[in-house]
Amino acid sequence: MSMKLIIAIVHSDDAQGVVSEISMAGYSATKLSTTGGFMRAGNTTLLIGVEEEQVDSVIELIGKRAHSHKQVVSGFPGRSEGSVSSVPFEVNVGGATVFVVDVDKFVKL
Ligand code: 2BA
């Protein structure tokens, strides 16, 4: 049986709902406070270690509680104020950005 690590980046407003959903289904998760590189605003990254055959159902649970959000960015990140790129614009932050990676070893000591 091979184990996978699901790395899911979700909007912080949805994070608690996602964690409740996956915990109630019996999975373990670790919640990290992270920062989006583009928005430079807080988001939440969840680490969820599961067996390979559970990956799809966990992704489905994440999708039930993670919604897309429209957010206004006050200018292109990293650009100085006063430039054209500092004009506020809207971005669509997705419900969840999910990576699934192989786990070589899993031990609890
Ligand atoms: P952020 O980097 O803060 O990006 C927030 C949203 O801004 C993105 O939503 C996307 O709609 C937009 N955006 C990002 N980079 C952009 C760019 N260079 N030009 C124009 N618009 C841009 P999502 O794509 O749903 O991503 C949500 C969060 O997921 C990201 O927050 C980041 O923390 C993470 N993420 C997304 N793709 C990733 C990747 N390939 N690797 C690592 N983290 C990723």
Residue 15: count other Cβ atoms within 10 Å of its Cβ.
23
Looking at the CA of residue 41, tell me the nearest atom of ligand 1.
3
Question: Is 92 inside a domain boundary?
Answer: yes
Question: What is the domain-level CATH number for residue 87?
Answer: 3.30.70.120
Residue 84: the pLDDT is: 59
The separation between the first and the last C-alpha atoms of the chain, rounded to the nearest angstrom, is 20
- Of 70, 91, 67, 71, which is closest to residue 17 (Cα–Cα)? 67
Calculate mean pLDDT across residues 97-108. Answer: 97
Q: What is the pTM of this model?
A: 0.91
In this model, does residue 17 exceed pLDDT 90?
Answer: yes
Whether the CB of 93 sits within 6 Å of ligand 1: yes
Determine the distance separating the centroid of ligand 1 and the alpha carbon of 71, expressed in angstroms: 12
Question: Is 90 inside a domain boundary?
Answer: yes
Question: Is 21 inside a domain boundary?
Answer: yes
Q: How many domains does the chain have?
A: 1
Q: 82 pLDDT band (50/70/90 cuts)?
A: low
Question: Is 27 inside a domain boundary?
Answer: yes
Whether the CB of 43 sits within 6 Å of ligand 1: yes
In this model, does residue 25 exceed pLDDT 70?
Answer: yes
Determine the distance separating the centroid of ligand 1 and the alpha carbon of 59, expressed in angstroms: 19
Domain span including residue 93? 3-103
The residue whose two tokens read 């070589």 is 104
Question: Is 38 inside a domain boundary?
Answer: yes
User: Order of strands, edge to edge, in the sheet holding 3-10?
Assistant: 30-35, 42-51, 3-10, 96-102
Question: Is 108 inside a domain boundary?
Answer: no
What the block records as the tokens of 76 is: 């292109």
In this model, does residue 66 exceed pLDDT 80?
Answer: yes
Whether the CB of 92 sits within 6 Å of ligand 1: yes
Question: Is 39 inside a domain boundary?
Answer: yes
Residues 6+ apart with CB under 8 A from 11: 43, 44, 66, 67, 69, 93, 95
Q: Take atom 35 of ligand 1 and give the residue whose Cα is closest.
A: 97
